[in-house]
Amino acid sequence: MAKKSKKKAFRKHAAFAGRMVMIGFGSIGQGVLPLIFRHIDIKPEQITVISAEDRGGLTELKKFGVTFIRKRLTQENLRQTLDKRVGKGDFVVNLSVEVASTALVEFCQEKGALYIDTCIEPWPGGYTDPNLSVSLRSNYALRETMLKLKPRYEGGPTAVIAHGANPGLVSHFVKQALVNIAKDTGVKAAVPTTREGWGQLARRLGIKVMHVAERDTQVSPHPKEVGEFVNTWSIDGFVSEGEQPAEMGWGTHEKGLPPDGRRHAFGCDAAIYLNRPGLLTRVRTWTPLEGPFHGFIITHNESISIADYFTLRDGPKVVYRPTVHYAYHPCDQAIMSMHETAGKNLRQQKRQRLIVDEIESGRDELGVLLMGHKRGAYWYGSQLDIHETRRLAPYNNATSIQVCAPVLSGIVWALENPDRGIVEADEMDFARNLEICLPYLGPVVGKYSDWTPLEERGRLFPEAIDKSDPWQFKNFRVT
């Protein structure tokens, strides 16, 4: 008689006795729910999902036995909808679009509830209202609005801000990469425990530029059709980000702004923006498996928060800050979709196709590329393919699970640190978060390279390039 296979026992990282309200149930909500049940001691009746749409997720909701409420949260109904569902000791997991993160954070602080999101979202129109200046449509502005709340809620219930793959996981990658570079280049330094200490380590190592360098090669056998946007993760979220200005943390080594670069007239001054959408702005970057490629400078919170976190000052004067930005090449079918959207003056297609089960091959190579140190460039990150993903967890592709794992780790960290007020990924324990995330990231590797953005430039066509410093942003030739 054949023996029955034993069900795998997953490690429980935490127990939670309160109510959990998940807002939004797209690709990330569907992917993270089984991870919550695997690794947190929680019962289905404790969880309520509120979403304007289910987009195929009702089967999963019914399977897990959680409560589902189909409703779009608005400025007018947010408090009324959540008032009786969220109280002291509860947890709001915000995975939605077009629900203002600041409004939810304020509500949770008043109620005494924990909170997490994967990015700082505005109310509808916050990304695209032509009556707002370009500066005010930026992630820089969204972050500054959130940070204004921080002193008011110091010591309050933990609200983990912008903690998905990126922003989120990549901030932990940066710290581990710095520790690795220090060890490999013979720089003796204890693992820093303060913001000042991390900035000093990055400065000592000579880090000038940090890319969040990502190449998604997942592919569906079904071609993209005209009038359709295809992607491996939230299409609404991706297009919204792409319509915002290209943004980057701006390093102290930079000698001048790009031709259409602008500074903000408010806030920490750690970042600039270009007077053009990120969806149309390319930059050179590198990952170990792909090699050199063109990525898009899609604006993300981490481009600003990492640059701000590693800033060193001598009194009011900034003496060190790296240049930081996202350099993203989505899956090829998303590239075609972006091209069509751009041709329609950034009007998104009406039909969407999120590819998960239909993906037949490919990986998402997501990591951080730190440049300027003694060994040139160092990439550290995840090289997760679709086949490994399917062995790891249901309802995910390689892109979504790289988001879902840090959502899980952020929830666990908040439960372990329940009174930290508003915190960004850069302020959290990187080692604890990586411990929880690593089992879901496939091969996590560090690779050195002598690649620079000047490699083979001018081979076929002459270019006027200042080669004195290969890490200056102007040499990246934004196109």
| Complete domains list, the chain, with CATH | 14-161 (3.40.50.720), 169-402+433-476 (3.30.360.30)
Contact indicator for 399, 233 with CB cutoff of 8 Å: yes
Q: Concatenated DSSP letters for 184-201?
A: HTT---PPP-SHHHHHHH
CA distance 16 to 418: 12
- 372-375 long-range contacts (CB < 8 A, ≥24 apart) are 372/206, 372/207, 372/208, 372/209, 372/253, 372/322, 372/471, 373/181, 373/185, 373/205, 373/206, 373/207, 374/185, 374/205, 374/206, 375/181, 375/184, 375/185, 375/448
Nearest alpha carbon to residue 75 among 122, 116, 115: 122
Tokens of residue 177, six digits: 């990469």
Contact indicator for 154, 146 with CB cutoff of 8 Å: no
In 339-466 the beta strands, taken as DSSP E runs, fall at: 351-354, 363-373, 376-385, 422-424, 444-449
**Strands 209-216 and 323-329, sheet pairing:** parallel
Tokens of residue 319, six digits: 């003496």
Tokens of residue 25, six digits: 């149930």
Looking at every residue in the chain, the average pLDDT score rounds to 94
Contact indicator for 212, 300 with CB cutoff of 8 Å: yes
List the chain residues with pLDDT less than 50.
1-3, 5, 475-479
Q: What is the pLDDT of residue 124?
A: 94
